[in-house]
């Protein structure tokens, strides 16, 4: 499996709008086992996105999907930047079949 954990910063006051865009575009992504968008508890403009994929190629392919491309285009104007980004190798847990 392939995992990503990353922080995304919204323009001031735009976090909820960014959450909506990210949440509506994640329905059918082949190879995606988990995609969680969470509000940062300490930063009112920041989000954490935690993703689990069957493999890195599935994640790369997802970036070319029309729905994902549309979401990126819609979100770009309200993304102020990115914080930490970590690649992981998920091995299992609640909600995931052990791989």
Cβ atoms within 10 Å, residue 71? 17
Burial of 28 (0-12, 13-18, 19+ CB in 10 A): exposed
CATH of region 2-88, choose from 3.10.105.10, 3.90.190.10, 3.20.20.100, 3.30.70.100: 3.30.70.100
What is the pTM assigned to this prediction?
0.88
Residue 57 has what pLDDT?
Answer: 96
> How does DSSP assign 79-98, residue by residue?
EEEEEEEEEE----BTTB--
Residue 95 has what pLDDT?
Answer: 78
Residue 61 has what pLDDT?
Answer: 94
Q: What is the pLDDT along the chain (99 residues), one digit of tens a residue?
A: 999 999 999 999 999 999 999 988 766 889 999 999 999 999 999 999 999 999 999 999 999 999 889 999 999 999 999 999 999 999 988 877 654
């Amino acid at each position: 499996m392939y995992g990503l954990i990353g922080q995304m910063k919204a323009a001031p006051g735009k976090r909820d709008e960014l959450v909506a865009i990210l949440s509506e575009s994640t329905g059918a992504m082949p190879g995606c086992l988990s995609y969680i968008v969470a509000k940062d508890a300490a930063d009112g403009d920041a989000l954490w996105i935690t993703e689990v994929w069957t493999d890195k190629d599935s994640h790369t392919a997802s970036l070319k999907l029309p729905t994902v491309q549309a979401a990126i285009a819609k979100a770009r104007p309200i993304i102020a930047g990115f914080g930490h980004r970590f690649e992981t190798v998920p091995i299992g847990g609640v909600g995931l079949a052990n791989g």
